Amino acid sequence: MQNNPCPIEPLIKSKFCQLSVCPECNVVNLNLPGRISLQFETAQFFEIAHAFNKSAQILRAKAAPKKKSAKVIKLNHLH
């Protein structure tokens, strides 16, 4: 009996992680520094990706510079 390796397709590679997928198994592989590797079914991966995306939006909003409220200047009109 021969075990054929999965036909892994790379998705993205950055300095912090690498993502790939096996289309036959529907498994997404997430490789992190330090030889950490996680595998997710595609449905699980979509849920996790959504949670990361939503969290990133919240963090960006918190990190954005606060808008200063505009000063209201009253002018005295001379009649």
What are the residue ranges spanned by the domains of the chain? 9-58
Q: Which residues contact 48 (CB under 8 A, 6 or more apart)?
A: 40
pLDDT band at 73 (very low <50, low <70, confident <90, very high): low
Give the Cα separation of 14 and 26 in Å (integer): 22
SS3 64: coil
Q: What's the first-to-final CA gap in the chain, in angstroms?
A: 100
pLDDT digits (tens, 9 = 90+) for 17-64: 999 999 999 999 999 999 999 999 999 999 999 999 999 999 999 887
Neighbours of 28 (CB within 10 A): 21
pTM of the model: 0.68
